[in-house]
Amino acid sequence: MKRIKVLGSGCRNCEITAKVISQAAAEAGIEIELEKVTDIAEIMGYGVMSTPGVVVDGVVVHSGGVPGPELARAWVQG
């Protein structure tokens, strides 16, 4: 099971990012564990300076904007 974290303050773009990832997983029929991380110290620990950030299985794969559906599909399927 993929473990995916959305890093951010809980802003609109962070919420949209989480929704895009959840939808991509549902469409692919893949179960994921999705966590929203709002703790600034934890976000900085990943080296993310611009949110939303996305971490897949411990690796930062995106930061600084809402990812497109194709990118989210690649994360959940990859």
Q: Which two tokens stand for residue 34?
A: 């999705």
Asked about 42 being catalytic, the answer comes back as no
Q: Which two tokens stand for residue 5?
A: 């974290």
Asked about 61 being catalytic, the answer comes back as no
CB distance 7 to 48 below 8 Å: yes
Position 7 confidence tier, pLDDT thresholds 50, 70, 90: very high
| φ and ψ of 29, to 5 deg | 70, 30
Q: Which two tokens stand for residue 67?
A: 């990812």
Query: Of the listed 6, 14, 56, 72, which one is catalytic?
Result: 14
Res 63: pLDDT: 97
Give me the CATH topology for the region 2-77.
Answer: Glutaredoxin (3.40.30)
Q: Which two tokens stand for residue 31?
A: 């179960």
What is the model's pTM? 0.95
Each residue of 11-68: pLDDT tens digit?
A: 999 999 999 999 999 999 999 999 999 999 999 999 999 999 999 999 999 999 999 9
Residue from 4, 3, 2, 1 nearest 54 by CA: 4
Query: Of the listed 11, 30, 44, 49, which one is catalytic?
Result: 11
**Residue ranges of domains in the chain:** 2-77
Position 78 confidence tier, pLDDT thresholds 50, 70, 90: confident
